Amino acid sequence: MEEKLIEMIAENLGAAYVVGIIAIALLIFVIWWARGVYERVCRMDSLPCDNHSRKMEEQDRRREETERSIVRIDTSLAYMQKSLDALVQSLQGGQKGSPDPYTQAHSPLSLTSLGEEMTVRMGVRDMLLKNWPGIRRLISDHAASKNPYDIQQFCLEQAIVFPEKFLNPEDLDRLKTDAFQKGLTLTPYMRAVAVLVRDKYFKENGIDVKEVDASDPALQGK
Instruction: Inform me whether the pLDDT recorded for 93 exceeds 60.
Output: no
Query: What are the pLDDT digits (tens) for 185-202?
Result: 898 999 999 999 999 999
| pTM given for the model | 0.61
CA distance 158 to 75: 7
Taking the CA atoms of residue 26, residue 32, residue 34 and residue 38 in that order, the dihedral angle to the nearest 10 degrees is 180
Considering the domain architecture, whether residues 119 and 184 belong to the same structural domain is answered as yes
Q: Which domain covers residue 33, as residue numbers?
A: 2-45
Confidence of residue 15 (pLDDT cuts 50, 70, 90): very low
Could you tell me if residue 57 is inside a domain? no
Residue 140 sits in the same domain as residue 38: no
pLDDT range class, residue 23, cuts 50, 70, 90: low
Whether residue 71 is found in the same domain as residue 31: no
50 is a domain residue: no
Q: How many domains does the chain have?
A: 2
The region that residue 97 occupies, defined by phi over 0 for left and psi between -120 and 50 for alpha, beta otherwise, is: left
Looking at the fold, whether 20 and 87 belong to one and the same domain comes out as no
What is the pLDDT averaged over residues 112-138?
96
Q: Are residues 37 and 71 in the same domain?
A: no
Question: Does 195 lie in the same domain as 104?
Answer: yes
Give counts: helices (H), strands (E), the chain. Answer: 9, 2
- Do 22 and 84 have their domain in common? no
Q: How far is CA 133 from the centre of its chain?
A: 14
**What is the average pLDDT across 75-90?**
53
Mean pLDDT of 85-105: 59
Q: Is a pLDDT exceeding 70 seen at residue 38? A: no
pLDDT tens digit sequence for 132-171: 999 999 999 988 778 899 999 899 888 988 899 999 999 9
208 pLDDT more than 90:
yes
Residue 111 and residue 119 in contact, taking contact as beta carbons nearer than 8 Å: yes
Shared-domain flag, residues 27 and 127: no
* Residue 204 falls inside a structural domain: yes
On whether both 36 and 96 belong to a single domain, the answer is no
- Burial (0-12, 13-18, 19+ Cβ within 10 Å), 103: buried
Residue 222, pLDDT score? 54
Question: 22 or 123: which carries more pLDDT confidence?
Answer: 123
34 has pLDDT over 80? no
Are 40 and 142 in a shared domain? Answer: no
Instruction: Report if residue 58 sits inside a domain.
Output: no
Is residue 62 included in any domain, yes or no? no
Looking at the fold, whether 129 and 164 belong to one and the same domain comes out as yes
Q: By mean pLDDT, which of 45-49, 60-64, 77-81, 152-156 is the weakest?
A: 45-49
Answer yes or no: is pLDDT of 100 > 70.
yes
Does residue 61 belong to any structural domain of this protein?
Answer: no
The average confidence (pLDDT) of the chain is: 75
- Residue 150 shares a structural domain with residue 107: yes
Instruction: State how far Cα 143 lies from the chain centre.
Output: 8
